[in-house]
Amino acid sequence: MRTHSATSLHHLSLSNVKPGQPIVIIGTGGSGRETLTLLHDIERNRPGTWDFRGFLGLDDPPADLLDRLDADFLGGPRTLVEHLPEASTWAYALGIGHPQHRREMDMSLTKQGLEPASLVHPSALIGPDVEIGAGAVICAHTVITTNVRIGASTQINIGCVIAHDARIGDYVTFAQSVNIAGNVTIKDNATIFTNASVIPGVHIGTNATIAAGAVVTKDVAAETTVAGVPAKPLP
């Protein structure tokens, strides 16, 4: 796992990124456009940190929405350096909600020489001994307390809380307002939807899905979707 600590960050995180580092966002859907908002908030807090060059995506973008954001669409990510050779020195942020799609884009872009940027909103409260994986995106009003490990390219949306000793794998997706109690383990590619809560000590397996509003009181097996209060596997 590619990681960094809260005080010694990945070389393309805010602590040591080169001023004006070019960056692109992968994904033009809601997640990607919200990532641009995060990038703008970072820029307001530390002007000149990033030089946003535009969006990349596999599908035709919502051109009217990008125009209203004054943002360019640069084409597909899989052939970026072929069309723009200078992009091999750029950074990228993954604004894609689906864990497996995020993983695929991560592999494609790193093969072309780009580096994943770890983006942490200025309002996020990050405690001591927190490791944040390369390419992670941590949105506004998130709280991560202490002795926590966040995996590579994990996406933590607005208003989430992650308590002590949590272990979060690679490419995990948290929707808004997820609450993770202490000593919880969440394995790679899991998805936790809006307002879900997980009680202390629970283990959530690889590729598991937690439905919106669920309260998880027992371990969740890999490849399983649970919903409800208390959460139970769906048929």
Sign (positive/negative) of CA torsion 209, 213, 219, 225? negative
pLDDT at 5: 38
Catalytic residue chosen out of the listed positions 11, 141, 164, 203:
164
3 state SS of 38: helix
Q: Are 26 and 97 in contact (CB under 8 A)?
A: no
Task: Give the rounded distance of the alpha carbon of 100 from its chain centre.
Answer: 12
3 state SS of 78: helix
- Residue 4 a catalytic site member: no
pLDDT, tens digit only, all 235 positions of the chain: 333 334 333 334 555 567 789 999 999 999 999 999 999 999 999 999 999 999 999 888 888 999 999 999 999 999 999 999 999 999 999 999 999 999 999 999 999 999 999 999 999 999 999 999 999 999 999 999 999 999 999 999 999 999 999 999 999 999 999 999 999 999 999 999 999 999 999 999 999 999 999 999 999 999 999 999 999 999 8
pLDDT at 17: 64
The H-assigned helical ranges of the chain are 30-45, 63-68, 80-83, 99-111
Cα separation, 166 vs 41, in Å, equals 27
pLDDT at 13: 52
Q: Are 223 and 207 in contact (CB under 8 A)?
A: yes
Q: Of 115, 113, 119, nearest to 132 (Cα)?
A: 119
pLDDT at 7: 34
What predicted TM-score, i.e. pTM, was given to this entire model? 0.89
Which CATH number applies to 120-228: 2.160.10.10, 2.60.120.10, 2.130.10.10, 3.10.100.10?
Answer: 2.160.10.10
Kindly list the domain boundaries of the chain, sorted by start residue: 18-116, 120-228
Which pair of structure tokens corresponds to residue 185?
Answer: 């383990």
pLDDT at 179: 98
What is the signed CA dihedral for 166, 169, 171, 172, rounded to 10 degrees?
-40
pLDDT at 24: 97
The residue count of the chain comes to: 235
Residue-by-residue DSSP string for 120-183: E-TT-EE-SSEEEETT-EE-TT-EE-SSEEE-TT-EE-TT-EE-TT-EE-TT-EE-TT-EE-TT
pLDDT at 59: 84
Q: Are 192 and 176 in contact (CB under 8 A)?
A: no
Second CATH level (architecture) for the domain 18-116? 3-Layer(aba) Sandwich (3.40)
